[in-house]
Amino acid sequence: MAGADVHLLVLIHGMWGSPSNLAEMHRHIREMRCEPAEADGVKLRVLLPETNQAEGTYDGIDWGGERVAEEIYDEIKKIESEGDKVTKFSVTGYSLGGLVARYVVGILRQRKFFDGVTPVNFNTIATPHIGLLRYPSFWSRLASTLGPRLLSRTGEQFYGVDKWSAGGRPLLEVMADPERVFYQALSAFPNIRIYANAVNDVTVPYITAAIEPEDPFLYRKTNGLTVELDEKYSPLIKHCLHNKLFPQR
């Protein structure tokens, strides 16, 4: 009897985190997929990497990504030992986990992983895609000064003060370069979803999580912003619109 095709979904936790941080997400996935096979007969398999827990998240996006990539290959070997084969791949990263995910898919592309596996979904939640920004305030200046020191290599990469490439470019800049493997790997996913907190996220503000030049929610109480919530899940904003009669500040 031939083995089944497998859709491997990887869930990557954030800074100071552990796989248990994504336990609720994992539970919902299991409940929604009580039947193990997709419509095309492909089984879903969920992997929660364990090698970057707690203090391990200080080591940097790159080192963390290398470890997660090895866990992915170990999981694939396990799946193959059971007689099945991975044919589809998706990944979801929370906070730092989203940056690790971007690095991981670059590694996988470099190793020709996607020559035989179809990329499907790439999702991030509250991920500082363009780093932790510096604002004209005392606390922001203090954080940008202490952050790279207190958070080790990861902090340096968060604030863009690392010199990751041979030419001295920061890692986040390299990962955003269309000519580099990280960007090219990300572009291969047909479904890319980026979730950002609209308000009250001091650690990862809307601009960096959503990769936007402006924050429409910053002056929401005075700029006449109209928000339409998702009918199925009200914490999600479906659409927002500025009223041009109101000043933006």
Whole-structure pTM value:
0.90
Does residue 115 carry a pLDDT above 90?
yes
Structure tokens at 168: 């001295």
**Domain edges within the chain:** 5-215, 216-249
Q: Rounded CA gap, 165 and 147, in Å?
A: 21
Q: Where are the alpha helices (DSSP H) in 47-203?
A: 61-81, 96-110, 138-150, 152-158, 171-175, 181-187
8: DSSP letter: E
What are 24-49's pLDDT values in tens digits? Answer: 999 999 888 655 555 578 999 999 99
Q: Which residue shows structure tokens 């005392």?
A: 138
Does residue 249 carry a pLDDT above 50?
no
CB 90 within 8 Å of CB 121: yes
Residue range 227-237: mean pLDDT, rounded: 85
Residue range 71-86: mean pLDDT, rounded: 97
Q: What percent of the chain has pLDDT over 90?
A: 67
Choice among 100-104, 172-176, 216-220 with the minimum mean pLDDT = 216-220
Pick the CATH number of 5-215 from 3.90.660.20, 3.40.605.10, 1.10.530.10, 3.40.50.1820: 3.40.50.1820
What are 11-26's pLDDT values in tens digits? Answer: 999 999 999 999 999 9
Query: So what's the pLDDT on residue 118?
Result: 98
Does residue 245 carry a pLDDT above 50?
no
Structure tokens at 41: 């007969």
Phi, psi of 97 (to 5 degrees): -60, -30
Which residues are registered as beta bridge partners of 241?
A: 226
